[in-house]
Amino acid sequence: MRGLLITIGLVSSVFLALAVIEHYGRFNSNGRLIFLVLFSSSILYTCIYWIVIPAFKLFNNEKELSDEEASRQIGSYFPEIKDKLTNTLQLNNINSSNNALILASIQQKTKELNSYSFSGAINLSENRRYLRYVIPPILLIVSLLIIIPGLITESAGRIIKYNTHFPIPAPFQFNILNKNLVAFKNQDLEIAVELKGKELPDQCFIVLRNQRFKLKKSAEGFFIYSFKNVQRAEEFFFEAAGFESIVYALDVKVKPDIRALNIIVQYPAYLKKPQESIRNAGNLTLPEGTVATWNIETINAAELLFQFESEKGVWHKGLQEKDLFNFKKSIRKDERYSILVKSTDSGQLEPIQYTLHVIKDQFPTISVEEFRDSVLMEQVQFGGSLSDDYGISKLAIHYTIQKGKKQIKKGIKSVPLESHASNQTFYYTWGLDSVKIEPGEELEYYFEVFDNDGVNGAKSTKSNLFTWKIPTEEELEEELKTSSTSATEQFQEAVKEAAAIQKEMQQLEERLKSKKQLSWQDKKAMEDLVKKHDALEKELLQLKENLEKLQNKQNKFDPASKELAEKMKQLQKLMDELLDDDTKKMMEELEKLLQQNASKEDLEKAINKINDQDKTLEKELERNLEVFKQLQFDRALENNIQKLEELSKKQEELSEKTLAQKTPKEELIKEQQEMNKELEEHKEEMKNLEKLNEDLENKNPMEDLKQEEQEIEQEMQNSSKQLENNQMKKAGAAQKSAADKMKLAADKMQQMQQSMEAEQASENLQELRQILDNLLHLSFAQEALMKEFRKVQQSDPRYIALGQQQLKLKDDSRIIRDSLYALAKRVPQIEAFVTKEVVAMNKYMDGAALHIRERRPDLATADEQYAMTSMNNLALMLNEVLKQMQEQMAMSMPKSGSGQCSKPKPGQGQPKPKPGKGKGNMSDMQQQLNDQIEQLKKSGKTGRGLSEELAKLAAQQEMLRKSLQEMEKMMQEQGQQSGNEMKKLNDMMEQTEKDLVNKNLTNETLMRQREIETRLLEAEKSMRERDWDDTRESKTANQKPAPYPPSLEKYLKAKERQMELIKTIPPSYTPYYKEEIDEYFKVLD
């Protein structure tokens, strides 16, 4: 009882104290939590200490009082009993033999104790004194509940709900203006608060998650606050001027939304692009005709709608499968579209707007450059680029042929494409023989390219219109004259420049000899000469190209006779030999020496070599110029003869028409006037022929034909007058007479031509024999002199006499040189090798004379040996030329009963000789050379004798090698492939030459020579077994296809890169990246 009263008192007191403190203190949640903990702790403590523990002791038997302890406590309550109860218990515990005595004593004391009432020992009235702890707090609580009930009840409620906000009543009101406090997840919510009252604070705060945030004041008494990106439900209250509002609850709902957007894009089939998936991107850029399928995963959505700008007011419902919606549409134009998501409980989102951008299939583009065959006018080459956004399907060329205003022909030709790539280059060669265009007609053409648009159909773009007017025969003739004159001028300019360079080189060489050290000016002069040399080389290349064009044009439109064609071929060969690799290497070596600041001796040697080469170049240019002039004269003479013969035939035909008197007089007069005009043109051509002859160093003996021309002109004028007077018989007779005289004049010119050729050939042959004899005498004299020098001493008086003999031989060599130079200008068969050997021979002769004068016989005999080698080489070469000239003279001799050879007609060309003709004895010559080498090896010769023989044999082997190279070149020109056999033979011969020069005569050399002989026999047999039928000969007579012009090379290179690109682009690349790579390569081009 005592514990209960104490517990009630203490708990009531604590409760009352806490309620009063909380009422007047208005603590926050933390303070109220402390109060609640104190109150709960006091209840727990008092209950345990004053009630639970005593009760536990009361009912716990293990800890009850012992008999002795109970007797002592009872004795303390009853003084009169004192120790009686204790004594009785002690007697009871005694174990003794005298049990009767003890039992009697116990009974006696029991009787005495029975007279006491032990329950009276418990005095409950003592607990009344504890009521003073209980009644006051209880009365006070009851009084407060009656007087100020809120002090107890409200305080107790606030303590119990410590986590709940309980504002202090403010002198103003907090009013939320929002209709409801509902927000959507991930969205913002703005709350507006109005404060009402007499006095309003200037600031207002919101307390959210135990943090204060200031509200924005919008007006007097009005405040706003914005919840950003709301994620969960919240509780909050407002605070102003120390007063707080009630707690408000913000409810958060999930609005319908799109969780994932996946668009499956299926491109039009012609694009050949795989299906793609575009994730979380609504703005699309797609090719026209693409089918898009929207697969949209939603959150809390009941339906999903699509609206397109082109269909205003129409909403398309997506097909639903749980939270997944899909919609399919073909994209054809640019437009905006909206996606609307709805739900049953949370309303709908604002429509989400996206944009569709359609990539229209653009028109293809084409860029074309033409490269006309302005020489032969047989073909036109095109190079260009094609591009489209997705690919090219077709390319065609449209052409129209017209003459004046009349359309002759119209057609379309398909141009093959190697691929259908979106960006590509092309080149195309169009042979004009396929359209059969005639001189004087005009060809118009353009390209049309088509794309591969599979949605709207293929679109096309046209290129620029090209026009090509084929010149008339008169215009072609004028072009040939102009080209010939231009080539002659180029030749003359090149000769002048070569002479100037050679002169400067000679002066530089002389200047270097007198100096011990090179100056800056000397090096600058060398650099200038290198530049001039390069410029001359470029000019010669251009001249060679122009000559080739002129020759090709003449062969097609004005073909020459077989003999003249052969001379033109020989001139072309001479031009090829002008630009050899040796000169180029020498110039490169000189440049390298200048860059390395080489010594004077090295530079002097290089200059000396170049000077010798320049002398050869100058002489060869002079020779080629003279050969070219002679060729132009011969061609002009042939043309005049042919035209006069044709005019004679036409005049005779007109005479027959006139005598037949079936043709109107006006027409006959017109035809006669045209012939009179042609005769005047022929007279002008004869004047031009005379002018060409005057320009030659060795003029041709031409007969005077002016008397015949006057007679022909008189007869033709008479016929014109008689036609006008209607005297047809007399006119016809005059025309017949004019025709006969023309025929006689043509025959006379042809006889003159044959006479000139025969006389010139005989003269050249005789002169060549004389030169060859002089050369052999010179060689023998030099050999004898060389042997004498080896025997004589410098102190011997004969030394001076021998030196004078060397000077005479030197003068003799100069006579041979001049004669050879003059002959070479008339005989194209003499190769450039001769000029080089002549220069070398004179150089060594000069060197020998100089060394004799300097008393250096060892060097003199070396130069004499080299001079003899050059003489022997010249003798071998000239002997070969002599044989060729004799064969040609024999072939050109008119046989009995044979008619005169007529000039071939345009387009027929000339049959070319078969490879090996005239060279069929190469294997025999090689066998003879091999035998000589074996005999020399067996002879055991040494010293000078061996060197001389080896030099001769090396020269002979070089001659055979050059003949082999000529044969290979001829085979290539005629479309035959020699393979690697010729190259192997050439390499083996060259190795033999090196062995002979280096005196390396071994068994291996002999074995190689026999192998060379065997291979030559096999090559000749193979050529003989070839099927040289008429078809092959006709084919070889055709012109070689014109090479691609340099300006077309960029297209070929671009095409090559494009093919490499196709090989290197991985197949996995998307068309977009392939197109980007294509564009990159276009930029590079």
How many domains does the chain contain in total?
7
**Burial call 702-732: b when 16+ CB within 10 Å, e when fewer:** beebeebbebbbebbebbbebbeeebbeebb
The answer to whether residue 1036 is domain-embedded is no
Averaged pLDDT, 324-334: 92
pLDDT of 96 higher than 60: no
List the single range of 108-112, 156-160, 467-471, 766-770 with lowest mean pLDDT. Answer: 108-112
CA–CA dist 395, 388 (Å, integer): 12
Report if residue 235 sits inside a domain: yes
Query: Is the same domain home to 224 and 346?
Result: no
In this prediction, residue 190 carries a pLDDT of: 92
Burial 956-986 (b: 16+ CB within 10 A, else e): bbbbbbbebeebbebbeebebebeeebeebe
Q: Are residues 827 and 771 in the same domain?
A: yes
Q: Do 648 and 527 lie in a common domain?
A: no
- pLDDT reported for residue 327: 93
Q: List the single range of 39-48, 227-236, 563-572, 1001-1010 with lowest mean pLDDT.
A: 563-572
Closest CA to 578 of 835, 941, 773: 835
Which of 710, 728, 751 is the last residue in one of the domains?
Answer: 751
Kindly report, residue by residue over 342-352, the tens digit of the pLDDT.
887 666 667 88
Taking only the tens place, the pLDDT of each residue in 836-856 is 888 888 888 888 888 888 888
Q: What is the pLDDT of residue 1067?
A: 45
Q: Which of 199-208, 284-293, 965-974, 1009-1018 has the lowest mean pLDDT?
A: 965-974
Same domain, 270 and 367: no
For residues 333-338, average pLDDT: 92
Q: Which of 141-155, 906-920, 983-997 has the highest mean pLDDT?
A: 983-997
Question: Residue 791: which of 714, 857, 707 has the closest Cα?
Answer: 857
Do 723 and 601 lie in a common domain?
A: no
**pLDDT tens readout for residues 463-496:** 999 998 888 888 888 888 888 888 888 888 888 8
Residue 372 has pLDDT above 90, yes or no: no
What band does 895 get if pLDDT is binned at 50, 70 and 90? very low
- 461 domain residue, yes or no: yes
Residue with tokens 């090509």: 468
Long-range contacts of 1001-1009 (CB under 8 A, 24+ apart): 1001/933, 1001/936, 1001/937, 1001/950, 1005/933, 1006/930, 1006/933, 1006/934, 1006/937, 1009/926, 1009/929, 1009/930, 1009/933
SS3 call for 752: helix
111 occurs within a structural domain = no
2 pLDDT band (50/70/90 cuts)?
Answer: low
Is position 706 within any domain?
A: yes
| pLDDT value, residue 126 | 61
Q: What is the DSSP string of 116-180?
A: S-GGGG--GGGGGGGGGGTHHHHHHHHHHHHH-HHHHHHHHHHHHTTTS--PPPPSEEEEE-SS-
Give the domain range for residue 342: 257-359
Residue 546 has pLDDT above 80, yes or no: yes
> Which stretches within 245-300 are classed as H helix?
none
pLDDT interval class at 84 (50, 70, 90): low
Mean pLDDT, rounded, for 1000-1023: 80
pLDDT in tens, 777-811: 888 888 888 888 888 887 788 888 888 888 888 88
pLDDT at site 971: 73
Q: In this structure, are 858 and 997 located in the same domain?
A: yes
- pLDDT interval class at 222 (50, 70, 90): very high
Whether 908 shows a pLDDT value over 50: the answer reads no
- What mean pLDDT, rounded, does the chain reach? 80
**964 with 988, same domain?**
yes
Provide the pLDDT for residue 892: 60
88 vs 269, higher pLDDT: 269
pLDDT of res. 292: 95
Using pLDDT thresholds of 50, 70 and 90, give the confidence band for residue 67: low
**What pLDDT is stored for residue 933 in this prediction?**
84
Of the candidates 751, 783, 816, which is a domain's last residue?
751
Q: End of a domain among 624, 649, 683?
A: 624
pLDDT tier, 916 (very low <50, low <70, confident <90, very high otherwise):
very low
Distance CA 548, CA 972 (A): 17
Q: Given pLDDT bands bounded at 50, 70 and 90, which one contains residue 129?
A: low
Q: Verify that 701 and 837 share a domain, yes or no.
A: no
Residue pair 391/452 in contact by the 8 Å Cβ criterion? yes
Q: Is the pLDDT of residue 914 over 50?
A: no
Beta bridge partners of 128: none
In this prediction, residues 203-218 reach a mean pLDDT of: 91
Does residue 91 fall inside a structural domain? no
Task: Say whether pLDDT at 902 is over 50.
Answer: no
Nearest to 757 by CA among 700, 677, 685, 689: 700
235 and 351, same domain (yes or no): no
Dihedrals phi, psi of 308, to nearest 5 degrees: -110, 145
- Residue 508 falls within a domain, yes or no? yes
In this structure, are residues 155 and 166 in contact, taking their beta carbons and an 8 Å threshold?
A: no
Q: 3-class SS at 384?
A: strand
Phi and psi at residue 260, in whole multiples of 5°?
-150, 140
CA distances from 795 to 70, 316, 786, 855, 1042 (A): 174, 126, 17, 10, 68
The arithmetic mean of pLDDT across residues 603-627, rounded, is 82
Which CATH number goes with the domain that contains 663? 1.20.120
Residue 159 located in a structural domain: no
The answer on 765 and 702 residing in a single domain is no
In this structure, is the dihedral angle defined by the CA atoms of residues 1011, 1014, 1020 and 1022, taken in order, positive or negative?
Answer: negative
Does residue 1062 carry a pLDDT above 70? no
One domain for residues 675 and 742: yes
The contacts of residue 464 (CB under 8 Å, 6+ apart) are: 368, 446
* Span 706-761, pLDDT tens digits: 888 888 889 888 888 888 888 888 888 888 898 899 899 888 888 888 888 778 88
Mean pLDDT within 252-273: 88
What does the chain come to in residues?
1085
**What CATH code is carried by the domain that includes residue 175?**
2.60.40.10
Digit-coded pLDDT (tens) for 263-293: 999 999 888 889 999 999 899 999 999 999 9
Same domain, 287 and 372: no
